[in-house]
Amino acid sequence: MPNMNNKVILTVASTGSSTTRAQARNLPMTPKEISEDAYECWKAGASVLHLHVRDDQGKACMSYEKFKEAIERIRDKCDIVINMTTAGGFGVSNEDRIKPLDLLPDMATLDMGSMNVAGDFVFHNSLQFLEDGARRMQELHIKPELEVMDLSMIYTALRFIEKGYIDGPAHFQFVLGMHNGMPATVDNLVLMKNLLPEDASWSAFGIGGRGHLPILLGTLALGGNIRVGFEDNIYLDAGVKAQKNVDFVERSRKFIELSNRAIATPAEVREHFHLRSY
């Protein structure tokens, strides 16, 4: 059971940690804005929302209250699958990164290793954090999305699966094109995909205007799932910014249909990953 037959899971990463309003005028930031944006994307066919929240100053955070309000507002409006980050905000403790899982999102990300970002700043994902996060997700029946920015992170994930910290079939998200991570090339995509267990499913995206489209098209060609949205990229076309997240969803739908596949509905994603019923 690799990826769903002929179906593509389309994830919208609407907000992220670092995109600003100066870059994307309609970046959703408050729980209300995030829920309205998610609803618009859901109406256009998006399967999954990758959820980050911001504090009242617009900075990335792991506020339990903000996540709670965002999840409640989204669930009031639609059945989009909610995939919550465990990596929002800088300098947040491991406990505060894991705590919002108590809100029972359908899925949550686990970044399978640390990486250098800039200067003295390291994106910390210690083995202890990963083990605690993975175990908490198992207890709460939350499907982990294993984010991978570098090859070594795949091997860490494989060890976690072997040790039973992550239930199979595992689901991976390849993040290509981060500074100091793997560049956004189709060669890298193929290399990473071929390292996965046979029963794993996977999704991928390239960061930024240059990397985004080649990875999106390459992923569709290779039978993977895709992720779009302001967290990863603000450009719809060379030099042309998207107005809203839904612009990416609509364009993706065309690509998916041209590749003779269809977008998975939230219900199909829930069934595929054995998520809690909505």
Q: For residues 104-163, which are near Zn ion according to CB under 5 A?
A: none
Closest CA to 145 of 111, 114, 100: 111
Binding to Zn ion by CB under 5 A, coded x per residue (else -) over 204-243, reads ----------------------------------------
Q: Please state, in angstroms and as integers, the Cα–Cα distance from residue 107 to each residue in 5, 8, 22, 71, 73, following that order.
A: 21, 17, 30, 12, 17
Are 251 and 40 contacting, i.e. CB atoms less than 8 angstroms apart? no
Q: Which is nearer to Zn ion, 85 or 156 (CB)?
A: 85
Which residue, 41, 201, 93, 59, is CA-closest to 50? 41
Q: Is 245 in the site for Zn ion (CB under 5 A)?
A: no
* Least separation in angstroms between CB 5 and Zn ion: 28
Q: Please tell me the total number of residues recorded for the chain in this structure.
A: 278
Indicate the residue among 60 and 154 with the shorter CB distance to Zn ion: 60
* Shorter beta-carbon distance to Zn ion: residue 85 or 219: 85
Closest CB 275 distance from Zn ion, rounded Å: 19
Q: Is the CB of 182 or the CB of 261 nearer to Zn ion?
A: 182
What single letter denotes the amino acid at residue 46? A
Of residues 85 and 245, the one with the C-beta less far from Zn ion: 85
Backbone angles phi, psi at 152, to 5 degrees: -60, -30
Tokens 């199979």 — which residue? 168
| Cα–Cα dist 162/70, whole Å | 34
Least Å from the CB of residue 59 to Zn ion:
15
Of all residues in this chain, which one has the CB nearest to Zn ion in the complex? 85
Q: How many residues bind Zn ion (CB under 5 A)?
A: 1
* Touching Zn ion, residues 72-101 (CB under 5 A): 85
**Nearer Cβ to Zn ion, position 85 or 261?**
85
Tell me if 108 sits within 8 A of 101, measured CB to CB.
yes
Closest distance between Zn ion and the C-beta of residue 77, in Å?
Answer: 21
Pairing outcome for strands 143-148 and 107-111? parallel
Which CB sits closer to Zn ion, 15 or 261? 15
For residue 11, the minimal CB distance to Zn ion (Å) is 10
Residue 139 C-beta: closest distance to Zn ion, Å: 22
CB 14 within 8 A of CB 245: yes
Element (H, E) at 234: none
* In the complex, least distance from residue 13 CB atom to Zn ion, rounded to whole angstroms: 6
In angstroms, the CA 140 to CA 109 distance is 14
Footprint on this chain of Zn ion (rule: CB under 5 A):
85
